[in-house]
Amino acid sequence: MNMMEMLQIQREESHLVIDARNAIRNGHHPRYEILTLVKEAPRGTLCEVHVPHRTAPLIAALEELGLNVAVSQVSPGDIRLRVMKI
């Protein structure tokens, strides 16, 4: 199984949701795949990434793309990173 298959991905018009919690909990590091999905999303897309804990390297990588990252805890074990592609 490749890394993209380990992510739960939902796309709806201008909204992209990537759930990486299970992949990360299973010891995988899908940073490259998440960054690729966000980069490929069209302008105007709200990208939402769910991770099990605060992931500073992923946040830094998104910020290096010139994106502002809003971090919030949805529930224990569910941290949401949100970026708007403009």
pLDDT score of 1: 63
Rounded CA separation 65/34 (Å) = 12
**Given pLDDT bands bounded at 50, 70 and 90, which one contains residue 4?**
confident
Greater pLDDT, 4 or 78: 78
Q: Which domains does the chain have, with CATH numbers?
A: 3-84 (3.30.110)
pTM as predicted = 0.93
pLDDT digit string (tens) for 14-65?
Answer: 999 999 999 999 999 999 999 999 999 999 999 999 999 999 999 999 999 9
Query: DSSP secondary structure string, the chain?
Result: --HHHHSEEEEETTEEEEE-HHHHHTT---HHHHHHHHHHSPTTPEEEEEESS--HHHHHHHHHTT---EEEEEETTEEEEEEE--
